[in-house]
Each structure stands twice: as C-alpha cells, then as structure tokens.
Structure 1
Amino acid sequence: MTTAHPPRPSSTPPASAARAGRAPGAWPGLGHLPHLLRAPLRFLGSLPAHGDLVEIRLGPRPAFVLCHPELARHVMADGRTFDRVGPLYEGSRAALGNGLATCPHGDHRRQRLMMQPAFRTEHLPGYADAMRREIGAALDRWRPGRVVDMVDEMFALTTTVAVRTLFGAGIADRDIAELRDSLDTFLKGVYLRALLPAVDSLPTPGARRYTRGLATWRAHVRRIIAARRAADPDDRDLLGRLLAARDEAGGAMSEAELHDQVAVLILAGAETTSSALAWALHLITTHPDAEEALHAEADTVLGGRAAGQDDLPRLPWTGRVIRETLRLYPPAWVLPRTATREIEVAGRRLDAGSTLVFSPYILHRHPGFHAEPDRFRPEREHADGIGPQTWSRSSFVPFGSGPHKCIGDTFALTEATLALASIASRWRLRPASAAPVRAVPRSVLTPRALPMHLIRR
C-alpha cells in the first residue's frame, strides 16, 4: 500500500501564518493541571486541534504551548527573548544547579564554550569504548528465563555508562548504585514539583523521600569530584576535560559550576538515554517485522558480541529504530521558556513573563510533517522523502532546538545504538505482562514499567 507523502514544511514565516487558540476543559482554580498530572500525553496530543499556539492554564497562570514545528523553531532560535527563566526554571535550578541544561541566556554562551571541547568528535571513540564495556558487562549478567523490568535495567546501565565516561573506571560499583538510587528518587519528584512548587511545604513521606534523595545525590557528586581532583591529572574522561576547560578570559570553572555541570551530565546521560532504550525495546517487541530486521542486522554485524564505535556505520536499521523511537517518545517531552519582553506570537500579544512550552512530543506527531504520525515506522525518513537535515530543523527535535540544543546528542545516539544492537545480538525479549505500557510523568518521558522475559537467541 502506497502512503502519500506529507506536504513539505511551508516557507511562510510562522508569525504570519500561525493561528492562536485556547484549550477547553480547564478546572476552576486548577486549570489544566489535573490533565497534566493524570494523562499528560493524551492532553498534549489534543492541543494541536485548537491552534498552532494554544493557551492552557497551570492553576491560575496561563501558559502557551507551541504546536507547529516551524513556529516552535522560530521561538526556540531566540534564546534572549524566550529565556530559561521564571518559576518553572527556578525550581529546576534549585534542584539541579545552574548547569548548561538549566542556565539562563546570560550564562549559556560561556558555559557552552567551556563544555564544547569535551564533546568533540575525536573524543567519541574513547567514550564509545567505555559504553561497549559496560553494555557487555550488563548483558553478561542476564540469565535466560528471568523476568527483568527494562525500565530499571536500562536506567542502571545508562547511569553506569554516564558515571564511567564522566569519571573514568575508578568509581566503585557500590558508589554508582547509591548514586543511581538517589537520582531515581529525585527524578520521580521533579515533574510534580515543576507543576506544583508548593508540594514540599507539606510534610508528606514523598516530600521527605525527595529531600533525602536530593541531598544524597548532591553529596555523592561532591565526593566524586573531590576524589577526582585529588587523583593524577588526566583529561581522558569528561571530568578531566571539564577541569581543564577555560573560558575566553582564561578562567576555569568554579567549584559550584563544576558541580552543576556534572549533575546535569549524569542526569542527561542516565535518564534520557535509558528512556529511549526502554521505549525502543517496547516498540520492537510489538512490531515483529522491525524486530526481525533488527536481529538480522545484529547477527550480520556483531555475531553475538557487544557493539563498538567501528560498528556504527554498519548498523543503519538500528539507528533508524532509535530515531523513530525518539520521534514517538522524545525523552525531553516538555521544555518551558519565558518571554523576557512583550511580543507577538502567532497573532497573540504576550506579556513579558509569559510562559511558553516547547513540546517535541507534539511537534513529532504533526501530520503535516510525518505521514501516519502515530505509527512506528523506522523506515520513514526515506519512505517519506524527508531526510535527516529536514528532520533536525523543525519536525524532529528530540534534543531541543536553537542555541540550547543538547550538547550531547551524538553521545546519546551512539550509546543508544550500541546498546540496542548489542541486546538484539544476544537476546529476544517478550512482554511479561498483558497490561498496557503507560508513560509516567517525570522529568523525561519514560514507561512506568516494562517487565520482559529474557530469551537467549
């Protein structure tokens, strides 16, 4: 059956063509918060029917959701006007610090210039080698017949990879496990606190667990940085390169800056990649043709071993599976911005201080840019005639857009591709539960649980 190509993105400036609207269903006093807490994906998916810029209510406060890829690109390209400031980012910075993923426009250029050398292409083979070792070690621990929750398993794997590539091989497994547990507790509470900042004023068990998890997480990061500083100088890992980094004036990162960058890197390296892998494993098990192609590629290229950097050019199908997974379930699914001045967007006059929401989940499912947008079709970038360059500009933005686009996108794609191919080369996974797989609202878009039977191939 032939699928019609989607229309090409219009070259019309988004401000002149976009239309503004308002979402129905707001609760008195609560606005759309109940929808965002109970069924956030269903709610987000309903918004494009009401316009390209859709007003929602976060309690008594309005927020404006960008629902058209070109409009979103236009907004995200202007980091000065649409900045990472305001109540939602104040909460994030209180927890994560003022690192590259949370800092406002005024701090961003200096931080990006200092961080960029650690992510140069020439360093990727070293990082990929650490990934290969940890992926292989994790798969060696799997046993046929066991049931494993792939959400937990992938989070454990990617946290270990993040710590090993950041700090080198000298971190004890026990320290990594403790860091992972505290990070998991902290991450489960971030989304709720972004929507309901006052939740910690209530002396609930959940609030106490979150506070303890955050404190433990910070203490671990401080201790690991101190130990790394005391060790022999070594710039072969990410932290060594951050310690050696200098800004345009020749200044090094302060202790607080270093802590904030390390915290963000572990968070991004662990949570976002683990989410992508969990969703990819779910999608593969529910699409037999895609799974068969994945196994055939892994058999041809790997023959049962763990994948490494040199294998990437020979794993094109695996890469397409990862990219299509990121299209359907982008980890960074909602990113707020705040207007720093009065401005018109989509014909709507917005006051300074207005909150705008950039949602890759919405943009990736726009029918004008992707045929059958809700279907899992790893072949789509060729079948639809839309190549990666078009995707990356507006309709495929899993790593954000504009000057704040994720600095570690190649790192994340490499890790996810190596892990998925390595799993496919050794194992066939089958769902252990007939219950629907549901997303859980937290800092990234991740399945609530994904129990799988391990079957050795």
Structure 2
Amino acid sequence: MNARCTYGVAPGALPVFGHALPLLRDPLAFLSTLPGRGDLVRIRVGPVRAVVVCDPGLTREVLRDDRTFDKGGPLYDRIREFTGNGLASCPHRDHRRQRRLLQPAFHSARMPEYAEVMTRQVTALTGAWRDGGTVDAADEMLTLSARITVAAMFGSEADDAGLARVMDDFTTVVAGIPRRALMPAPADRLPTPGNRRYDRARARLRAAIGLLITRQRSGDPGTGDLLSMLLAAGRDGPDGRGLSDTEIADQLVTFFAAGTETSGSALAWALYLLGGHPEVARRLRAEVDGVLDGAPAATFGHLPGLRLTAAVISEALRLYPPAWVLTRTTTDDTRLGGHTIPAGTAVVYSAYLLHRRPELFPDPERFVPDRWIAAPGAPQPPRTAFLPFGSGPRKCIGDVFALTEAALALATVVAGWDLRPANGRRVRPAPRLVLSPHRLPMVTVARAGGG
C-alpha cells in the first residue's frame, strides 16, 4: 500500500506499566478503541513498544511478508515456552521446511478419513447426553475437539481419566500465556502459586506427549495417524534426516493446542449464538434434516449440502475469532503505510478488531449467517479481511480440518438435539490465548427420532 496512513498513539499509558493494565482488565474493549486513533497505533506494555495495525490492507501486507514481519513478540515468546519450535510459532527460517514435511498430513485426500474419526467422536459424545439434562457446552465442545485431535494424531482414542488430566493442564497453560506475555521478564521466574502451576502443567503436558512418542516408536508403526507420518517425515528432506523426537513433540503439542482450542471454541460460540437466535436455529434444523434424510449423524458426503451450517460457523468465527490477537516482529527497518517501522518492533494485529469494523462487515455486532451465502451478484463479505485462520504463507495448515470438524459436529448435534440456554445471562468471552466462552450451560433436549 503506497498511500500514507494515519499513525496515532493510544492514550492512557501509565509510568512503568504503559497500557498493560487496560490490556489485562478488558483487552477487547481496549482494542476496539484503537481504530479511532489511526490505521497504525503505538502502544506500550512495560518496556516493550508495539504498533497495532488497525487497517485491513496494512494487515494483509504484514501477513504476506513473513520474512520482514516474522513470528515474534512477547506473545510468541510465551507460546514457544509451551509449543517449542512448532509450525505455528517457528521463525521464518524454519517454516518452509516444516510446512513441506507436514503438508501431506493435511492433504484434501485425507479429509474423508479424518471425517470418519470426527463423526465417530461426536456421536459418542452426544450419546452420553440425556433428555432434559444440562451440560456446559464450552467444556463439551473442547472435550470433543480434544478427542478428535488425539485420535487424528495417534490413531487411538484417549481414555477419559488421562484426557481429563491433560485438559486440566492444558487449560492452565492456555490461560497463563497471555498473562505472562504482559508480565515483565523477571516476574515469570518468581515462585508465585500461578507461576508454579503453569510450570508444572507445562512440564506434565510435554512429558505426556514424549511418552506417547516413545510408545509409538516401540510398537507397530501406523500409517494413517499424524504421529506415524511425523516419524516418517524428513527422510526425503533436504538434509536426509528424520525429525528428532524434540521436533516431533513440538509439532504434536502445536497441533493439539491449535486443533483443540480453535474448533472447540468455534463450536461453542455457534451453539451459544443459535440459542439466542431461534429463527436461524429453526432454519438450520430444516437444512440438517433435509440433507441427512434420517441419518443419525453427518458424514463427509453430507458437507456440500450443509451451506447454512457452514455459514453459521463462519459467522461464529467472525464474531469470536479464536486467534483474536497475534504479534509479529520486524526483522529489518521497513515501511508500512508510508511510515518507517524500525527493526525489532512488535507489530500487533487482531482478527477481532477487523471483523467488527462496520465498513467491512455491515452491522458487525449482529449474528447474520446469511452474509456468507448472499445471492449471486449481491455484495459478498471481504474475504481478505476475514482472518480466523490467518493469511499469507503462515495461514493455518489445519484450516480445512477445523472447518470440516466444526460442520460435521454442528450438524450432528442439531440432528439429534435442541440445545437451549440454561439461563438468560449474556455469555462474555474469556480473552485467553483463544477467545472462548467462560461458561456455557445449556439444556439438552432430545429431538424426535434423534438423540
């Protein structure tokens, strides 16, 4: 973009802390005020100075040039504490090799096989519900996504007790990462209860993944699961080496984190939004009933007919994008929007911010799935400003996997159940590493012929 864009400064910075307090108190509200300050807005978090990109065109520039705007900044420093040098967090110099080795695991030809796992897991989960019972839909969808991710990674299902322990530790780590990103470096080493819980949970998760790799190496090699493909990856690489156990563990932790949180969050928000919009829910039930034609669960072959289902998921991702804020770091002095950005600057972009700009998405606060299935010739949403999975060379490798999972799960739930809000309270998003509902109690009402 050659035009010179506005460059502002966020007000309210405090000595020492900068803007850390409003970011900790209500980061979504703070971000929402920034477009009024300019296309590029300077903020400060402790000693770290950053530039927030509020313009969609400038955001595309940042995401296209992953060499100049490399994965980095306080948030990625903390993510790497957990995921290591996995695909989602590795620097530019490592990304191309990793992406090429991992891409076969997400080839479109593999989706029907993954879809069978997804259908089986959602059927098992909803089969445990009871008519008139109450579930926390946020926890249920997170558990479902975790089960699907584990089955896809290891070719086997997780036992309930083991998965519960992993999810407890995972929740602790995911909740701790944003807080630690806003924490001055020495503070993360203090022996506080929160730091100790975080360190213990992170160590147990890495140990659990390491044990699964060891068991897989010593057993019969599989062929269809992600771990088996990772164990074989690299033999055709430029250096002729297979991936080390550490590299494999980094990828598995990365895929577990991304696969569990992203899909689970999207599904939970979709169910919440449908609960507050009965007319959309009615239309969705009619679509699912017509496409499934009496089948108890959605399968890969049903996906082309589930247009409203896909639109509901897209609209949930627009309103509540899982990766709501991310950072990059400039590797050289560069120009952005006509302004010089020095090397080493933290650059922040937010899908949440862009998705709620009214000039991009009219009436942005409303849940309007039909905006994604407009009639031919009618205005379409700007896909270049729709970033639930990022964009450019670092776009999420598992985006099709996640969308397939969400559509199959939502259609299967709708086929058998009406989920109704257990109370009239507005659910507030919890801006952790992923933008998730804090709690989502819903009553499970079995539909005639389903459940």
Give the TM interval when normalised to the shorter protein. over 0.9
Separation in 1, partners of 2:248, 2:284: 40
Q: What RMSD in Å do the two structures reach over aligned CA positions?
A: 1.6
> Do the aligned partners of 1:183 and 1:217 also contact (CA within 8 Å) in 2?
yes
User: Could you tell me which of 26, 34, 41 is aligned with 1:39?
Assistant: 26
User: Could you tell me which of 292, 307, 310 is aligned with 2:301?
Assistant: 310
**Post-superposition CA distance 1:365-423 (Å, at most 9, x none):** 222221112211101034493547x50xx211110111110000000000011111111
SS at match of 1:337: strand
Task: Say whether residues 1:333 and 2:324 are aligned partners.
Answer: yes
Amino acid aligned to 2:230: L
1:44-193 superposed matches below 5 A: 44-169=31-156, 171-193=158-180
User: Could you tell me which of 2, 5, 16 is aligned with 1:29?
Assistant: 16
Task: Say whether residues 1:417 and 2:384 are aligned partners.
Answer: no
> Do the aligned partners of 1:332 and 1:444 also contact (CA within 8 Å) in 2?
yes
Which residue does 1:448 correspond to in 2? Answer: 438
Amino acid aligned to 1:161: I
Which residue does 1:354 correspond to in 2? Answer: 345
Which residue does 1:265 correspond to in 2? Answer: 255
Task: Tell me by how many angstroms 1:227 deviates.
Answer: 1.1
Task: Say whether residues 1:283 and 2:270 are aligned partners.
Answer: no
User: Could you tell me which of 289, 306, 314 is aligned with 1:323?
Assistant: 314
**Post-superposition CA distance 1:18-75 (Å, at most 9, x none):** 2211222223322221111111111111111111111112123221111111110011
Call closer, same or farther: CA 1:17–1:366 in 2, change over 3 Å: farther
Separation in 2, partners of 1:44, 1:86: 17
> Do the aligned partners of 1:82 and 1:337 also contact (CA within 8 Å) in 2?
yes
Separation in 2, partners of 1:407, 1:204: 37
Task: Say whether residues 1:241 and 2:229 are aligned partners.
Answer: yes
Task: Say whether residues 1:377 and 2:368 are aligned partners.
Answer: yes
Separation in 2, partners of 1:430, 1:54: 41
Which residue does 1:215 correspond to in 2? Answer: 203
Call closer, same or farther: CA 1:275–1:111 in 2, change over 3 Å: same
Which residue does 1:226 correspond to in 2? Answer: 214
Task: Say whether residues 1:274 and 2:257 are aligned partners.
Answer: no
Call closer, same or farther: CA 1:85–1:64 in 2, change over 3 Å: same
> Do the aligned partners of 2:78 and 2:181 also contact (CA within 8 Å) in 1?
yes
> Do the aligned partners of 2:50 and 2:345 also contact (CA within 8 Å) in 1?
yes
Separation in 2, partners of 1:88, 1:178: 25
How many residues matched?
441
Task: Tell me by how many angstroms 1:267 deviates.
Answer: 0.6
Task: Tell me by how many angstroms 1:232 deviates.
Answer: 1.2
Task: Say whether residues 1:203 and 2:191 are aligned partners.
Answer: yes
Call closer, same or farther: CA 1:155–1:32 in 2, change over 3 Å: same
> Do the aligned partners of 1:20 and 1:347 also contact (CA within 8 Å) in 2?
no
Separation in 2, partners of 1:285, 1:356: 37
User: Could you tell me which of 230, 235, 253 is aligned with 2:243?
Assistant: 253
Separation in 1, partners of 2:409, 2:334: 44
Q: Any unmatched runs of 5+ in structure 2? A: none
Separation in 2, partners of 1:195, 1:345: 25
Amino acid aligned to 1:141: A
**Post-superposition CA distance 1:134-182 (Å, at most 9, x none):** 0000000011222211111111111011000110125434333322222
Task: Say whether residues 1:395 and 2:385 are aligned partners.
Answer: yes
Task: Tell me by how many angstroms 1:215 deviates.
Answer: 1.2
Call closer, same or farther: CA 1:288–1:171 in 2, change over 3 Å: closer
Separation in 2, partners of 1:61, 1:199: 15
Call closer, same or farther: CA 1:199–1:425 in 2, change over 3 Å: farther
> Do the aligned partners of 1:23 and 1:47 also contact (CA within 8 Å) in 2?
yes
Amino acid aligned to 1:53: L
Call closer, same or farther: CA 1:136–1:198 in 2, change over 3 Å: farther
Amino acid aligned to 2:188: D
Separation in 2, partners of 1:288, 1:395: 28
Deviates more, 1:137-146 or 1:196-205: 196-205
Deviates more, 1:269-278 or 1:347-356: 347-356
Task: Tell me by how many angstroms 1:88 deviates.
Answer: 3.4
Deviates more, 1:113-122 or 1:230-239: 230-239
> Do the aligned partners of 2:169 and 2:204 also contact (CA within 8 Å) in 1?
yes
1:422-433 superposed matches below 5 A: 422-433=412-423
Task: Tell me by how many angstroms 1:304 deviates.
Answer: 5.9
> Do the aligned partners of 2:147 and 2:158 also contact (CA within 8 Å) in 1?
no
Task: Tell me by how many angstroms 1:332 deviates.
Answer: 0.6
**% of aligned pairs identical?**
48
> Do the aligned partners of 2:170 and 2:201 also contact (CA within 8 Å) in 1?
yes
> Do the aligned partners of 2:315 and 2:368 also contact (CA within 8 Å) in 1?
yes
Report the TM-score, using the length of structure 1 for normalisation: 0.93
